[in-house]
Amino acid sequence: MSRNLRGLSSRKGLEDSLYENIAGAVPEGRNHPEERLKAIAGEFMTGDAAVLSASSFYDFLQPAHHAKKVYMCDGTACLTSGKSDEVKRSLLKSYGENEIGVVTCLGHCHSNDAFMVNGEIRLCHNGDHPANVRVSSNTDMPVLITPTGDVGEYYKLARLWIGRAEHALKELEVSGLRGRGGAGFPFHVKVRSSRDAAADRKYVVCNGDEGDPGAFSDKWLLEERPYSVLFGMLMTGIITGADTGVVYIRGEYPLAVRRVREAVSQLGIAGIAVGEDDDPVSGFRFHVVEGSGAYICGEETSLLNSIEGLRPEVRTRPPFPAVYGLFGRPTVLSNVETFANIHYILEKGGRAWAAMGTEKSPGTKLVSLDGAFNRAGLLEVKMGTPLRRVIDEMGGGTRYPVKAFQVGGPLGGLVPASKIDDLTLDFESFAREGFLLGHAGIVSVPEDFPMIRFLEHLFEFTRKESCGKCFPCRLGSARGLELLSGAVAGKEKIDRQLFDDLLDTMQLGSLCALGGGLPLPVKNALQYFRDELKEYFTNEEA
């Protein structure tokens, strides 16, 4: 069924896309316009159920969303900072209780006081941290935070690689660039798979749906370095033979959407990525797609379904996107930070970029520090840097006692303060110690924040954001939340064996990293904070 719907959606492509028709059918402040959605179904010949199902999936397209006037953040960093109540009290001075909604994360984890109103992000200015993101680096030759300068000069590099696609791919391979979105998959493998796939059309897709609370590195790049991201996509297209790039940006990042659209327009004015001829540089075309509120769209196959106007549930794999991606065509799909590295690699050489990191985790990595840090903000760090240096020297330590750091988002490992000296900032070190580097966003858990409440929050997040396609995630997250909430309320202790079985089922049976990744931080907490949690469990010897 999905392939049939995908084929119908592809008839009009990206210029008059099914998704953007669906999103545009729900104007601000109006109820769900089912008649317009049914008309769209007729125009695309997809059937009413498919269009209504897709529309109902997104938070921003729900009638309840448009009944709200302002939205505060309920992400992990804002929760643990203890400032959520302060923000709400501030908003209640201007809005009624029923006019205040919540969104999962607004990407201001460094300040913890953001809210969204009329499509704009504003801050309560609590005075603890500057409104602008503080940016610093521990390398003499920063890759990602360096300004791109004149657009024409910056993009001249692309023409030097025309006709040398295999050499460019070799530089990517030599660099050892691994995906910066969390999984750390070798980027050159995706590129070669797409390049070698036979197809009449290919795509490059940038995943800017950075929904993990604690992460704001992609947001910063899209707002402050959009040309580096777009260059990486263009070069990927030149290497693979793709002529179209899609930048998918979450709707919670309105400034990023505007900045990237402005950058695409400026490239057109400069004669770059105009999309009107067969030249690899000027013939490339960009499309910017704004999300409608769904964390799961950060998962690559869900994101592809979203662009296509289908219900953005996770696809089973294989086939993988590099072979069967957007509209069923070969697609290189990677995250914002990954693409932003490509200019440096092709200008300075893959070996120069790799030399800044370790053998298996080469290059640099952006690290997001939440508002608990004295120097909260964004760091560009050489892979292999001791975590202790990142936290104490570069981050200036924390403003209050912290017992653990969750690194890599709500599905990332929970690192107790006692383990900091055992870790370096790279994929291998974190995996070896039973954690996950992921996107390297760091959320601090205060000494006085109950760990049982933290676990309840993780299950609540997963239950809310699950696409619902697979039972282990959909039911497991709800059941886990039920057990934890009952224990917190003092109704019934949790059978430890039952809880362990639930975690194993989610980890082994879920289709994607949402349900499959949740057990990692939970198991970390059960291991390192057993004394704090034991009062909520029975059969603790299990």
Taking only the tens place, the pLDDT of each residue in 196-240 is: 999 999 999 999 999 999 999 999 999 999 999 999 999 999 999
Q: Say how far residue 217 (Cα) sits from the centre of its chain.
A: 9
The answer to whether 533 touches 451, Cβ cutoff 8 Å, is yes
Q: At what angle do helices 471-488 and 451-465 cross, to 10 degrees?
A: 150
Is residue 107 a part of any domain in this protein? yes
End-of-domain residue from the set 318, 353, 388: 353
8 A C-beta contact, residue 340 and residue 221: yes
82 vs 101: CA distance, rounded Å: 18
| Distance of alpha carbon 59 from alpha carbon 252, whole angstroms | 11
Q: Are residues 228 and 324 in the same domain?
A: yes
With a CB cutoff of 8 Å and minimum separation 6, the contacts of 299 are 314, 467, 512, 513, 514
pLDDT tens-digit map of 429-438? 999 999 999 9
Range with the poorest average pLDDT among 89-98, 179-188, 369-378, 512-521: 179-188
For tokens 């989610």, name the residue.
506
Q: Are 420 and 459 in contact (CB under 8 A)?
A: no
Digit-coded pLDDT (tens) for 487-537: 999 989 999 999 999 999 999 999 999 999 999 999 999 999 999 999 999
Q: What is the pLDDT of residues 120-167, one digit of tens each?
A: 999 887 555 555 788 889 777 799 999 999 999 999 999 999 999 999
* Same domain, yes or no: 308 and 205: yes
- At residue 360, the pLDDT reads 94
**CA distance to 91, 182, 200, per residue, from 441 (Å):** 27, 10, 39
Task: Look at residue 131 and tell me if it is in a domain.
Answer: no
Stronger pLDDT, 467 or 32, i.e. the higher one: 467
Name the burial class of residue 396, with classes exposed (0-12), middle (13-18) and buried (19+) by CB atoms within 10 angstroms of its CB.
middle
Distance CA 434, CA 510 (A): 20
What pLDDT is recorded for position 525? 97
Which residues, including other chains, have CB under 8 Å from residue 447's CB and lie 6 or more apart?
400, 401, 402, 403
pLDDT at res. 29 = 45
Q: Domain containing 73 — which CATH number?
A: 3.40.30.10
- In this prediction, residues 101-107 reach a mean pLDDT of 91
From 445, 479, 512, the end of a domain falls on: 445
Lookup: tokens for 33:
């316009």
- Label residue 542 by pLDDT band (50, 70, 90): very low
User: What's the pLDDT score for residue 431?
Assistant: 95
pLDDT of residue 324: 96
Q: Is residue 130 in a domain? A: no
Please check whether residues 286 and 388 belong to one and the same domain.
Answer: no
Do the strands 114-117 and 120-123 form a parallel or antiparallel pair, or are they unpaired?
Answer: antiparallel
Tell me if 420 is assigned to some domain: yes
User: Does residue 89 belong to any structural domain of this protein?
Assistant: yes
Question: Residue 84 in contact with residue 74, Cβ under 8 Å?
Answer: yes
For 530, other C-beta atoms within 10 Å of its C-beta total: 12
Q: What integer pLDDT is reported at residue 205 of this predicted model?
A: 98
Q: Is residue 128 part of a domain?
A: no
Question: Within this chain, do residues 58 and 75 fall inside the same structural domain, yes or no?
Answer: no
Q: For position 432, which CATH number holds?
A: 3.10.20.600
Q: Quick one: 300 and 431 in the same domain? A: no
Does residue 368 carry a pLDDT above 80?
yes
- Are 463 and 514 part of one and the same domain? yes
**Whole-angstrom Cα distance, residue 124 to residue 61?**
26
Average pLDDT, the chain: 93
Q: Give the pLDDT band of residue 31 (cuts 50, 70, 90).
A: low
Instruction: Examine the domain organization and report whether 381 and 441 are in the same domain.
Output: yes
Average pLDDT (261-273) is 96
Same domain (yes/no): 342, 370: no
- 2-11, 91-100, 118-127, 347-356: which has the minimum mean pLDDT? 118-127
Q: Residue 27: pLDDT band by 50, 70, 90 thresholds? A: low
Q: Hey, what are 75's tokens?
A: 């992400």
- HSE-up (13 A, CA, CB side) for residue 542: 14
CATH number of the domain within which 469 lies: 1.20.1440.230
How far apart are the C-alpha atoms of 484 and 494, rounded to whole Å?
7
- By residue range, what is the domain housing residue 514? 451-538
Question: CATH number for the domain including 147?
Answer: 3.40.50.11540
In this prediction, residue 4 has a pLDDT band, given cuts at 50, 70 and 90, of confident
Same domain assignment for residues 379 and 345:
no
Is 129 within a domain? no
Q: Please give the pLDDT value at position 12.
A: 87
User: What is the reported pLDDT for 183?
Assistant: 78
Same domain, 80 and 175: no
Domain count, the chain: 5
Q: Are residue 371 and residue 503 in the same domain, yes or no?
A: no
287 shares a domain with 375: no
Domain end (from 123, 144, 165): 123
pLDDT of residue 104: 87
Confidence at 277, pLDDT banded by 50, 70, 90: confident
Dump pLDDT digits (tens) for 410-468. 999 999 999 999 999 999 999 999 999 999 999 999 999 999 999 999 999 999 999 99
User: How far is residue 533's CA from residue 425's CA, in Å, rounded to a whole number?
Assistant: 28
Decide if pLDDT at 377 tops 90.
yes
CB 301 within 8 A of CB 212: no
Residue 303 is predicted with a pLDDT of 97
**Is residue 262's pLDDT more than 90?**
yes
The answer as to whether 319 is a domain residue is yes
Q: DSSP strand E in 267-330: where?
A: 285-290
